[in-house]
């Protein structure tokens, strides 16, 4: 399986364009048999429980839901039910992420930002029907978010290349894949897709922009979007990359057969869990490194045991802002639960 390659701040626009293109001679040929096998495997996972899911329920499978339900079903269901509120400290990061997302889309489509990056970002969110208000923040947090958005705008304007004519760039294009006769829907909305595939060649690159620092979980998002693109077109993208503006880092993944099949297995496992839960089965507890920061910990023997065994450990770096650990950037991608991307964290929706 291809491995991500990290590139740090200071790249020229031509360098960024080269990273997006990758090595054209190394692009794999389309493999329709693999895509058919992936869809068949996902259909089988969806069908296993879909028949006993209430008829008015559609199980929505998003990038966040795949991660959440596989980490711990009990916490996933508690979040869906609103049994506890998320850490309010991540709110500034979420707002910052949504504003930076809007700036990235502006740069990708128009090539520039005005002298007031914050105003541009607010206007972009408003135009897309998902307005953002910084008034919900206290004055100190508000100024911090504004400063971070301005800094991100500088990096975007300086580093984003002019795309060739006919590049077919599309921002936040919704990807929907229906399974089990529409009872299960895979849903995603990558920041940017460039190019068009044909039956003879892979022609799409997927780009995600993050306002915070790089986290390994971002690579799972790329894999998820790559699978959705492959199922939608019958041809996989040739490359996917994430640009983390908090540390100026770009990570690129070459999409090959091994990566796609591995992601198929991961998503199929999540589909099985989500449909089983939607059918009314009891959620299962899974001890994991985030147990020390879980609001359900006091009533969870498995979690307490995990905390005891891992006493003295720190929160993993790839889970920033989740209950107190990580890098402090939280869910900064701006396309998670709270902005209307998929309606919820990917559980049963009515």
Output the pLDDT for position 4.
Answer: 54
Domains of the chain: 1-284+333-350 (3.90.320)
Output the pLDDT for position 340.
Answer: 39
Tokens at residue 256, please? Answer: 């090959």
- Report the share of the chain in percent with pLDDT over 90: 51
Average pLDDT over residues 300-309: 87
Output the pLDDT for position 341.
Answer: 42
> pLDDT digit string (tens) for 201-212?
788 999 999 988
Who has greater pLDDT, 71 or 344?
71
Is the predicted pLDDT of residue 343 greater than 50, yes or no? no
Output the pLDDT for position 321.
Answer: 37
- Interaxial angle between packed helices 63-71 and 73-80, expressed in degrees from 0 to 180 and rounded to the nearest 10: 130
Element (H, E) at 183: none
Closest CA to 206 of 180, 168, 176: 168
Is the predicted pLDDT of residue 318 greater than 60, yes or no? no
Alpha-carbon distances of 78 from 90, 183, 281, 282, rounded to whole Å:
18, 22, 14, 12
Is the predicted pLDDT of residue 198 greater than 80, yes or no? no
Output the pLDDT for position 329.
Answer: 33
Tokens at residue 84, please? Answer: 């506890």
pTM more than 0.75: yes
Output the pLDDT for position 165.
Answer: 80
SS3 per residue for 106-121? HHHHHCCCCCCHHHHH
| Measured distance between the N- and C-terminal CA atoms of the chain, rounded to whole angstroms | 38
> pLDDT digit string (tens) for 242-279?
998 888 889 999 999 999 999 999 999 999 999 999 99
> pLDDT digit string (tens) for 12-59?
788 888 888 888 888 888 899 999 999 999 999 999 999 999 999 999
């Amino acid at each position: 399986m291809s491995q991500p390659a990290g590139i740090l701040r200071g790249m020229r626009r031509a360098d960024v364009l080269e990273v997006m293109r990758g090595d054209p001679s190394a692009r794999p040929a389309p493999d329709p048999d693999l895509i058919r096998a992936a869809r068949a495997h996902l259909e089988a996972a969806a069908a296993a429980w879909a028949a006993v899911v209430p008829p008015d329920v559609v199980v929505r499978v998003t990038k966040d839901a795949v991660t959440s339900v596989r980490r711990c079903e009990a916490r996933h269901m508690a979040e869906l039910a609103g049994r506890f509120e998320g850490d309010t400290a991540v709110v500034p990061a979420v707002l910052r992420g949504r504003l930076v997302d809007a700036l990235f889309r502006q740069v990708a489509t128009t090539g520039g930002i005005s002298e007031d990056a914050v105003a541009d970002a607010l206007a972009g969110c408003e135009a897309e029907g998902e307005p953002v208000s910084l008034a919900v923040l206290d004055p100190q947090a508000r100024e911090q978010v504004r400063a971070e958005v301005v800094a991100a705008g500088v990096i975007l304007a300086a580093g984003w290349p002019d795309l060739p004519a006919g590049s077919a760039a599309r921002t936040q294009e919704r990807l929907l894949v229906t399974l089990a006769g529409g009872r299960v829907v895979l849903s995603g909305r990558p920041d940017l897709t460039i190019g068009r595939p044909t039956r003879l060649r892979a022609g799409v690159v997927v780009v995600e922009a993050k306002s915070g620092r790089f986290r390994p979980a971002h690579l799972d998002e790329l894999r998820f979007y790559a699978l959705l693109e492959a199922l939608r077109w019958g041809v996989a993208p040739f490359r996917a990359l994430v640009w983390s503006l908090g540390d100026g880092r770009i990570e690129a993944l070459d999409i090959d057969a091994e990566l796609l099949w591995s992601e198929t297995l991961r998503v199929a496992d999540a589909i099985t869990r989500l449909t089983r839960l939607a059918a009314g089965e009891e959620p299962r507890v899974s001890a994991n490194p985030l147990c020390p920061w879980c609001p359900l910990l006091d009533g969870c023997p498995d979690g307490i045991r995990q905390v005891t065994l891992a006493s003295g450990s720190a929160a993993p770096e790839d889970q920033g802002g989740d209950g107190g650990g990580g890098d402090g950037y939280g869910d900064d991608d701006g396309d998670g639960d709270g902005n209307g991307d998929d309606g919820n964290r990917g559980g049963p929706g009515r």
